[in-house]
Structure 1
Amino acid sequence: MGLASPPPRQAPLVPQQWADALDAISTSRSPPIAIICGPKNSGKSTFSRILLNSLLKRYDRVGYLDTDVGQPEFFVPGCLSLHLVDECLPDLMKTPMREPERCIFSGDISSKRDPDAYINFIFQLYDYFLEKFYQSDDAYSHRKALLPLIINTAGWVKGTGFDVLVELLKYISPTHVVQMRISAESKNLPTGAFWLSDKKRGSSKLIELATVFTDSFNRSVLIRKNAHSMRDLRLSDYFKRCFPSTLNISTNKELAHALASIPPYQIHFSQVKVMHLYCQVPKHEVFYSLNATIVGLAASSTVPTSSARCTPWCVGLGIVRGIDAKKGMLYVITPVSLCKLEKVDILFQGFIEIPTSLLQLCTVDLMRGSVLKLLLLLFFYFVINFFNF
């Protein structure tokens, strides 16, 4: 069984409407802050990737704030992340895994469980970008180059999802808002500057674009993607980083066996604080609840002191492979480097699941091992009883 991969998609040709939008944003007088929004699977990610390449022709680095926790561009599901990209993407249909500049573990593939927390996570990442990469130093001699920023949003644009997007647009007040639209008007966002009241006039330039993906009647359509498989693939790719790149791991079975055989990090219960993001767990069950789960690894020392939103930065993910209650030990597998792991004292637990294919293979191996042990016990039982008889 090979590692699941999404079906190949043909790279779209850039229509004139898109080309004009790309030129308007990338040649703006000041470094742009562009928010890409619209229905899910309408081409937001494709446009943002082309825009990224376009901006890199003018700037040495471009900021990319990924707010889609279900289908992230550069990191893993369940995380909001800020990236500084310094090279063009060679493949517009597939983005490589990147180490983020800053990351927050949301612990879910949607903002539905806690929209307020989700909004604050975005604000914290945006504030960090403004402070570090979009403000000039006071001393003219140390003036730094300001970086443009692309913000790719999730495709939940109705109900609470719409409210979240409005709050995001109001807070950030971007230079450009790119709204992707399809033929099915009921799925689109309202036209115009929908995030502003009639009495206000914003400074953002609104660009409305039709998706390049069309059906046989030349109507703009949504592109269906197997989101679950893509998330599993992303997580599998992330945990493959536990091993040297020279180690050839090409199937789920090989990855499951490799993860089962790698020596885990040992963490004493007293070294970490467990934070359940969306539920309450009895105190005596806290560490048991971590067994065989994916956790976010964070350090309390990384809490931003300049922001009222004080969520610790996430340094990566880990799999809790086992616990030893008697010794008070957790056994964790993670590709995070030891120098970063030594500072980790917070484990976030949410609803990010270990890929089903890896769990199934591990379960099969466990069952096989249990059956073998049972057969050996029966064999010795009959041998002992035979000689005693």
Structure 2
Amino acid sequence: MSFERIREKLNILADAAKYDVSCASSGSTRSNKNKGLGNSTGMGICHSYTEDGRCVSLLKILMTNHCIFDCAYCVTRKSNDIPRAAFKIQEVVDLTLNFYRRNYIEGLFLSSGIFKSADYTMERLIAVAKKLREEGNFNGYIHLKSIPGASDELMRQAGLYADRLSVNIEVPTVSGLKLLAPDKKHEDFTKPMLKVKNEIIQYRAERKIIKSTPKYAPAGQSTQMIIGATGESDKDIMYSAVHYYTHYNMKRVYYSGYVPVADDSRLPALGSQVPMLRENRLYQTDWLLRFYGFQVTEILNSEHPNLDIDVDPKLGWALRNLHHFPVDINKADKVLLARVPGIGMRSVDKLIQARRFRKLNWEHLKRIGLALNRAKYFITCDSSHWEHRDLEADKIKGMILQNSSGKFRKEYGKQLQLF
């Protein structure tokens, strides 16, 4: 096939893949061996970020944008009038290896529309990964999208060649899925997730006994939700995310704001794109749940079903729970320090280390790097230079927003108008 046709396919199928945000490669430690190509632990040059902050570059494409389903929210829905294309297995293998040799990428993120059946599509994705590993001797990062409804045996094979697997849950609630994708069943998504979870547990247990046991999806599995396509609240979204973290051992849940792709009465009007700030607030909440010891019911509940767009969720929680404050920086334990707005987990560790040697005052806190523009309203230390304890939540919120940079206030105003 001509170079022009390959480039045309690449333009179509790379553009179609941009709506999938769940392509972080955190957690994989596949190393180079037998003088092969690639190394998933090396430094990268763009686009996706690992858990420790490294940036890695991935070739992110669909195998095809043909699809047998007509999901209302999807740009590749069968009723959508768009250019269609499909890669052959060897074409994806060649593109990946050639791009790697030119230092364009460090790995592959491969998804696909569903053509013929779930198993047929999944077999083709696995064939690409298998050829890269066994024939191309490729040791770089591979992320495969698991096709909803694929068989258990195919999911087992996929995890032996891929670093990460993911099934996009797409819509946070079962009722939303029935509305926008009536051809799909909720169990088509959860069955592959459960299989991957169980295989990861089994292979890790066997590897402790038999060191030659191959790794199975060493970077775990992830999923993605579309937010804003249906009327779910932030509470619905985050409760669903907690369910997948708890019951399927998800490495990450991604939140993708709905982008209008079709004029459909079941969807928000064209032009009503979900503001980026709402996505950010959900990710911040996700972070608090996974690393800061918060319970989802503390942040979102029947009284507060949606996140405050004005301020980050930790500050929002603190303003609603002023009875926990002020916190004495020199005495509070790690759990309570982590709940103070403006204090991150690294700063918490620095505080605990520093106060072993002396009592800390405001000058010490500045040097440690606390965001005192927020933290000062919620803490005390070895100083009375600035300690006002007669402020109400609304006043504190107003002062913090007022003290924010002009650039932030300008962006906030834009996002609030959109929301």
TM-score, normalised by the number of residues in structure 2 = 0.25
- The structure whose residues are more often helix, as a share, is 2
- The structure whose residues are more often strand, as a share, is 1
More RCO (CA 8 Å, sep 6+): 1
TM-score, normalised by the number of residues in structure 1 = 0.27
